[in-house]
Amino acid sequence: MERRGAISEWEHYVKACLDICRRQGNLAAEAALLDRMGELKRDHGAWDEAVAYHQEASQHYEKLGELLGQARALGNLGQVYRLQRKFTEARQALEEALECCRECGNLEMEAFAQNTLGLVQYDEYEHEEAIASYETACRLWSQTGNLEGLARSQQNLGLAYLALHDWARAESFFRAAIELYQRTHSRLYLALSSMDLGNLYLKRGRHDQAEALYRQAKDVMEHTEYTRGLAQVYNNLGMACTGQEKWSLAEDFFSRSIALWRQLGEPVSQANAEDNLSETYLLQQKWEAAHGILNDAQERLSGLQPVGRVAALLADIHEHLRAVETGLGEGRKK
């Protein structure tokens, strides 16, 4: 169900199974299902609920003395903390997960925790460290024969190399991930990796090719009701349309993305989409519209620590605000 993106249907069955195992007093099954519920809540953007589910699952596993289950729950908890940009908490949960993995000797779960640690490092702009973590995950997953896990780490390696502007390696890893997702029939993750390849085309100025990949991904996100993925692909479609001077379409896609990021409670991603929308306004010399959206984005980030992605985004916003002031000043002279 996860591979096909059938998230709502999966949640229905998990809830039904939770009721059954609680009536039976089956603590091990309850722990496993709580962990699955946390993943589902995470993918729907309900992160506080996800944290609660993963914490409860970890506590159950600890009572049972099941290190493998505890490692998985802690790894999932680290992923949610990462999405909440609570990087200290994320690293702590992942280090605990890795310790459990080493004690029980499970290579597959160790690969999962290493991959998630790479995501945290990537978000903190530690790209070389992230690459090392992803490579470790790839090696471990290759040993266990887990094609799905291997695909995810290869996709993440593509993202890290993309951030370093190593276009050839990035494309190679994206295509390797896409091939594996096709073999495992992972529809949702295939769409996500195709969208990443579209991002590479976007950075290389191949806007029409990027748009084609984004539209394919959009259809999957809409069908699966994967809100976070849909917010991402709307933003990316806005950038691809901006590159082709399809102004009306670009503005519409950015507005849809902003609304979804607001719904998901992700201020950094919302501000990023707002900054991208402002660039579309700037290119059309809509100075006042750009000024308003940039002020909103800057205020949204004002309470966050200016490091990593937030620092980079604030720098972009400041640069765009200077362009607005220049544009408005020239308008006054006329």
Q: Which domains does the chain have, with CATH numbers?
A: 1-105 (1.25.40.10)
Q: What's residue 332's pLDDT? A: 66
When the pLDDT of each residue in the chain is averaged and rounded to a whole number, the result is 93
Q: What is the pLDDT of residues 267-285, one digit of tens each?
A: 999 999 999 999 999 999 9
> Residue 2's pLDDT band (boundaries 50, 70, 90)?
low
Q: What was the pLDDT predicted at 309?
A: 85
Asked whether residue 5 carries a pLDDT value surpassing 90, the answer given is no
- Structure-model confidence comparison of residues 58 and 328, the more confident one: 58
What does residue 304 show for φ and ψ, rounded to 5 degrees? -100, 155
What is the DSSP code string of 49-75? HHHHHHHHHHHHHHHHT-HHHHHHHHH
Residue type, 195: M
For residue 250, pLDDT over 60 is answered with: yes
Look at residue 7 in the predicted model and tell me its pLDDT.
58
What's the pLDDT at 224?
85
- Taking the whole predicted model, whether its pTM rises above 0.95 is answered as no
DSSP 209-229: HHHHHHHHHHHHHHHHT-HHH
The DSSP result for 170-181, as a single string, is: HHHHHHHHHHHH
Does 147 score more than 70 pLDDT?
yes
pLDDT in tens, 95-106: 999 999 999 999
pLDDT at 4 over 80: no
The number of C-alpha atoms within 13 Å of 6 and in the hemisphere containing its C-beta is 8
Return phi, psi of residue 125, to 5°. Answer: 65, 25
Q: Which is nearest to 116 in space by CA: 100, 93, 139, 99?
A: 93
pLDDT for residue 173: 98
